[in-house]
Structure 1
Amino acid sequence: MTSTPVLRMPFTLPNGTVVPNRLAKAALSESLAGPGLSPGEEIKTLYRRWAANGQGLTITGNVMVDRRALGEPGNVVVEDDRHADDLREWADIVTGGGSVGLVQINHPGRQSPRTLSAHPVAPSAIAVPGVAGSFATTARIVAQAGFHGVQIHGAHGYLVSQFLSPLSNQRTDQWGGTPENRRRFLLELVAAIREAIGPDKVLAVKLNSADFQRGGFDEDESLEVVHALAAAGIDLLEVSGGTYSSAAMLGVSDSVKESTRKREAYFLDYALRVRAELPGLPLMLTGGFRTAEAMEDAVASGGIDLVGLGRPLAVAPDSPASLLDGSLDEVVTQPRRAGVKLLDGLTELTYYTVQMWRMAVGKEPAPNRHQLVNVAAYTLRHGLDAIRLPLRGR
């Protein structure tokens, strides 16, 4: 067994919020909204399963800021106070075990299936002030409900990363063209949300190290964005990478080398670049971590502050506590591939989603079920149209 004293150390964010230890549940899209796209009973049951598992930080799956723009079937939406009671109960569940609780807030932009959003919009069609106001409203509501703060989803091909990308942002006004203009939207969100939630709540950002597309958003430009975010006073940066058409965050992209997979932390080299240039900016790294030794080394080296665990908590929900007390050396997750490149992203996503659905109805994960059984279960719940987006790449 492995001793993990560094992982058990608390960490204080710039706004004064203390994270009890260095393990974090990263955002996973649960697809479990209740009636009216509320945080209903299933999502509450799922988070009860995770609430006492030991992680110091818990980030919800992406909560949409506009019910007319959903990224996946079953997204929770918070755009007004209609679900205030459910939100308060969800916040109590998430934070009840001592974890700091953040809500990841998001808008899909063009990365939305037609069956969910009749008119998906790219950055060129967005009225920036209105969308920034929607993000701020959602942030204010969830903070008032009892969450410790929010995380802006600025990665994986959703609206914020669409603004950042020279491939998807074709605007020629102050919101597009130059790198400075392309990142203006994200900085406007940060400013609007900070005003809405105040200085005592956590404001975090999830950002791609790169989108791994030719001519797209690269590491050098990403570092420029990070400098601007640090100057704007964010409390935490989570590093990820890729889009659903180049899924580096899932480890299925050709851009992720085999040597990087074996090292576990997919984006550690980029995180080290950030740390070298901005040593005071709190960093969370998600993607690939499986062994206590790798997690311990990444934190002990000073390269990062928090270890993000996503998919491992879908199949091994008790693993944070076991990693922290030294009774677990490794979280075993086997890639769920169909053997056909076109289908690999689909089988990977549906496999972990279905494990969360099982916990949401009081069952334990079933990690050894065949991947096609999980695809069938996903299709049964959300219909054939729900699988078209992962198949063609989001």
Structure 2
Amino acid sequence: MSQIAQQIQIRNTVFKNRIIKGAMSEALANTAGEPNHLHLGLYEAWAKGGLGCAITGNVMVDYRAKNEPGVVVLETERDLAELKQWAEIGKKYGMVQLIQLSHPGRQCPKGLNRETVAPSAVAFSPMLATTFATPRELHEDEILDIIQRFATSAAICEKAGFEGVQLHGAHGYLISEFLSPLTNKRQDQWGGSIENRTRFLLEIYKAVRAATSDHFIISVKLNSADFQKGGITEQEVISVFKAIDQAGIDLIEISGGSYEAPAMAGAKSKHIKQSTIAREAYFLDFAENIRKEVNCKLMVTGGFRTVKGMNDALESGACDFIGLARPLAVETDLTDRLIAGYDVRYAVNPIKTGIPFVDKMAIMEIIWYAAQFKAIGEGKAPNPKLSPFKVFLNYAKGNIKAIIQGKVNSRKSA
């Protein structure tokens, strides 16, 4: 039997195969952050395509901290009915669903929120400073509030019927900001040593575990590296993986990078070793090393394109799950095709608008795919030849509209 077709169990949940859809931003919610029929249509398409598990795009735990327009926000049981419908789709087709809970920290476009917060008031690089403001340093009571927000959101996810959650601790969002010495300059119990910088993640895990049942899956997405000079060291990364594993985490997804060094979008591919390219997965070498250090299940996302590459990775023991993201945006039935022995049909190339400053930020790697998701949610077929330039123009118009609406709402609530 093909390795990718084999079942595997975490706690009381059986995954029917080893393919997991990695988180991708859907950008389908309204300004209030409510899920809708588009989410249901999108995830049903993936479920019908044989997917073993889907990890949702960013779901914010705080309405005041959204990373982009159109993101789902989960603070209360306001949307419990819609969330139950969403969870039921997975159960209908045997697709496990994990909600990715996130706080963006400093990675919020200017004007979207009233302010941005982070472990420390560290400015962005000059190229991104025009888009992202310097954040305000969090007070300790705010840190404790955010920890509890993750727990509250997780409990709602379980009540809705989802099998688990993923804590977003990668890509430069808030948990990742606490872990990295580049963005965490604190001198209290939340900063300094790697043990202190890991505290925020561990306290979130403990709070989520306490707020949910024993069979609820808790996963985390972690960077293998910052890919920036002066970032978290390899030894520190290993200590973070070991600490969260020893705390009881069920699954770790291995990724890397941030908005300032977007390795997760393949932007660092020219620096990837030839041996890694031959094996397809960007972070597989790291997974092999970390496999010796942890006991939890591991998932590697990024770069897989052939059935052989996926099966070889699983057979080697380096990982337990294959994470696929962008290929699923243009092939919703990809899982069934992989299990039947067919490789990924469409090559994943960098999405370029021809506008230099836009293309350098790799933002099109998010919004071009979000445009595909909207089409799929509406019951249409994805379009691999969709114009990146037109997508960016539509995104810019929507972003301006959302920011204006946000300012109007802020004045009304003031």
Query: TM-score, normalised on structure 1?
Result: 0.92
Q: Where does 1:94-173 land on structure 2 (aligned, <5 Å)? A: 94-123=90-119, 124-126=137-139, 127-173=142-188
Measure, in 2, the Cα distance between the counterparts of 1:167 and 1:329.
37
Aligned-residue CA RMSD (Å): 1.8
Residue 188 and residue 358 in structure 1: after superposition, are their counterparts in 2 closer, same or farther (change >3 A)?
same
> Per-residue displacement from partner, 1:228-283 (whole Å, max 9, x unpaired)?
011100110000000011110100136742634453200111111111222x3210
Asked whether the equivalents of residues 164 and 218 of structure 2 are also in contact (C-alpha less than 8 Å), the reply is yes
1:391 corresponds to:
none
Residue 329 and residue 154 in structure 1: after superposition, are their counterparts in 2 closer, same or farther (change >3 A)?
closer
Q: Where does 1:170-319 land on structure 2 (aligned, <5 Å)? A: 170-253=185-268, 256-257=271-272, 259=274, 260-278=276-294, 280-319=295-334
Measure, in 2, the Cα distance between the counterparts of 1:270 and 1:128.
31
Aligned-pair identity (%): 44
How far the C-alpha of 1:325 sits from its partner, in A, is 1.8
Asked whether the equivalents of residues 327 and 344 of structure 2 are also in contact (C-alpha less than 8 Å), the reply is no
Asked whether the equivalents of residues 307 and 338 of structure 2 are also in contact (C-alpha less than 8 Å), the reply is yes
Q: Secondary structure at the match of 2:98?
A: strand
Residue 231 and residue 66 in structure 1: after superposition, are their counterparts in 2 closer, same or farther (change >3 A)?
same
Residue 256 and residue 79 in structure 1: after superposition, are their counterparts in 2 closer, same or farther (change >3 A)?
farther
Q: Secondary structure at the match of 1:206?
A: strand
Measure, in 2, the Cα distance between the counterparts of 1:327 and 1:213.
37
Q: Does 1:78 align with 2:70?
A: no
How far the C-alpha of 1:330 sits from its partner, in A, is 4.9
Asked whether the equivalents of residues 24 and 366 of structure 2 are also in contact (C-alpha less than 8 Å), the reply is no
How far the C-alpha of 1:166 sits from its partner, in A, is 0.5
Measure, in 2, the Cα distance between the counterparts of 1:258 and 1:122.
33
Measure, in 2, the Cα distance between the counterparts of 1:99 and 1:254.
31
2:410 corresponds to:
none
How far the C-alpha of 1:162 sits from its partner, in A, is 0.4
> Per-residue displacement from partner, 1:342-378 (whole Å, max 9, x unpaired)?
3331333222121112112221111112221221232
1:9 corresponds to:
6
1:29 corresponds to:
25
2:388 corresponds to:
371
How many residues were matched structurally?
A: 381
1:347 corresponds to:
364
How far the C-alpha of 1:385 sits from its partner, in A, is 8.4
Measure, in 2, the Cα distance between the counterparts of 1:230 and 1:97.
30
Residue 333 and residue 254 in structure 1: after superposition, are their counterparts in 2 closer, same or farther (change >3 A)?
closer
Q: Secondary structure at the match of 2:72?
A: coil
1:89 corresponds to:
85
Ranges in structure 2 where 5+ consecutive residues have no aligned partner: 120-136, 404-414
Aligned with 1:58 (options 54, 57, 71): 54
